Every structure is written in structure tokens, then in C-alpha cells.
Amino acid sequence: MGMKQTSQIPNILLSVKDASVAISVSTKMVRLLIASGRLKAVNLGKRMTRISLQELTDFAERQGCSVVLPFSSLLFNNDRREKKKSNTTAKPETGSVNKTAKCRITPASEKAPEGVTHDTYYTLAEVMSKFNIKYGRFYEVRNRFQLPSVHAWGTTAFRKEDVEGAIAKYDEEQGKAQLEAYYTCFDIMQKYGLGKTQVRRFAETHNVRIKKAKGGRTNLYLKADWEAARKKAEKTSASTKAKRI
């Protein structure tokens, strides 16, 4: 159905594909028309070129043709897209959700076993947030120390004193293990007389395995890799050998 009454056309935007269907040309032709300036369009982002229905109708009239896609179909498609967008952004939730952890960070309800309160128990997401620990690592702690749990407020909850004690012991164990197997940057600087940049470059050049610590802000260098790389480098470099204290 042609559209000659431009004053009755709603202000809606069409994709390049919709526009090509409306005036019976290819999408490539629509893009060429836009590039040449014969058809005005707006860019709403990456791969989001849009042409207003009014502009498309005016162009069609200048060419002596008409917009052939029924107006009701265009309106229906746009309404459907808006409805879908609305449904995805305004979906109600039964409690605030930590999207990364995929679990509730605040209670979904006030139901909990007798004696279980917010003063004495953490929810799973509260543990992850408070102690900056990922689910996989806490799962390891939970199994390592056999932490008991209860179902409360629509999620899993743990006694605070159990969690705090277990994580403290786990951190202590991990710290000792790291000291035995890894150098800190400061350790290497003292032992070999290197600067921070030299430590980093040497590790990168010789593929020394690195472990992140303190929330990813500090590098730990595997001692075995570092010592092997230094011995190899000392055989071919006098300056490297001289750096050893």
C-alpha cells in the first residue's frame, strides 16, 4: 500500500533492511544512497544505521515511487522491538541480584529457620562480597573445612564465625604456600639487584609463570621458573651473571 500523506506518518526509525524492503531495492543500494547523500540517515551506534519513515517516504516521492511496505507492519515491528526491550530491562526480581555471581546478594524473603538471623549468618553472596572471594574458591574453602549451611531467605547461608575462621585459616595456608613456591617482586629486586621494570621484562622474556595476589594488584613469580631462567641466562650473558648478589 502506497503512502502519500506524509503528515500522517509517525516518527519511527527503520533499519537498512526494513528500508530496502519498503522501497523494493537491495540493502546495498540503500547504503549507496546514504553514502551519496541522496538518503539521509542517522547512526545510533555500531551497525545501527537508521532511516526515518518520513525521510524514506520523501525520498520515494522524489523518485516518483512509493513506500510499499504496509504502515501497520512497520508499526507492529517497532512496537514488538520496544516491547521486547522493555521486558528485558524491567523484569522484576525477587531480591537484588549479583549478576556475576548469579545469586542473590540480599534476601528474597524473610523466611529462615529458627535461630538463623542476619547477625549470625551470611548469605552465600554476602560471603563473596565481604571477603572478595569467587564462588569456585569459596566452594573449595567450604569443602576443605566442611562448613555447615542452612537454607534461609531463599538462598544458602553460613554461620558467620564458621566462615570467618575458615577463610582466615585458608588465607594463612595459601600465604605460606606462596612464600615457599613464589618470589615477590621485592624478593627478586633484593636478591638480584634488579629494578621493577627489569623484573617484569625478564619474566616476560623467559616465560616465568606469574600468579596474581592481593586482588590482582601484585605479581608473584614462580621460584623454579625464575631460577631456571637465571641459570640459563647466566651462561650467555655476563651482565646477567653480575646481577646476582
Q: How many CB atoms lie within 10 A of CB 242?
A: 10
Which pLDDT value is given to residue 123?
Answer: 92
End-to-end CA separation in angstroms for the chain: 87
Which pLDDT value is given to residue 162?
Answer: 94
How many percent of the chain have pLDDT more than 70? 70
The band of 243, judged by pLDDT with boundaries at 50, 70 and 90, is low
Indicate where the chain has its CATH 1.10.1660 domain(s). Answer: 6-89, 179-242
Cα radius of gyration rounded to whole Å, the chain: 32
Give the type of residue at 12.
I
Give me 62's grid cell. 522524489
Phi, psi angle pair for 155, to nearest 5°: -150, -175
Which pLDDT value is given to residue 43?
Answer: 83
Per residue in 71-102, pLDDT (tens digit) is: 444 554 555 555 555 555 444 444 444 444 44
Q: Which CATH number fits domain 179-242: 1.20.120, 1.10.1660, 1.10.287, 2.60.120?
A: 1.10.1660
Q: Which residue has the cell 519498503?
A: 22
pLDDT average, residue stretch 109-137: 87
Q: Lowest-pLDDT range, 89-93, 114-118, 228-232?
A: 89-93
Fold of 6-89: Multidrug-efflux Transporter Regulator; Chain: A; Domain 2 (1.10.1660)
pLDDT average, residue stretch 128-151: 89
Per residue in 168-195, pLDDT (tens digit) is: 888 777 765 566 778 888 888 888 888 8
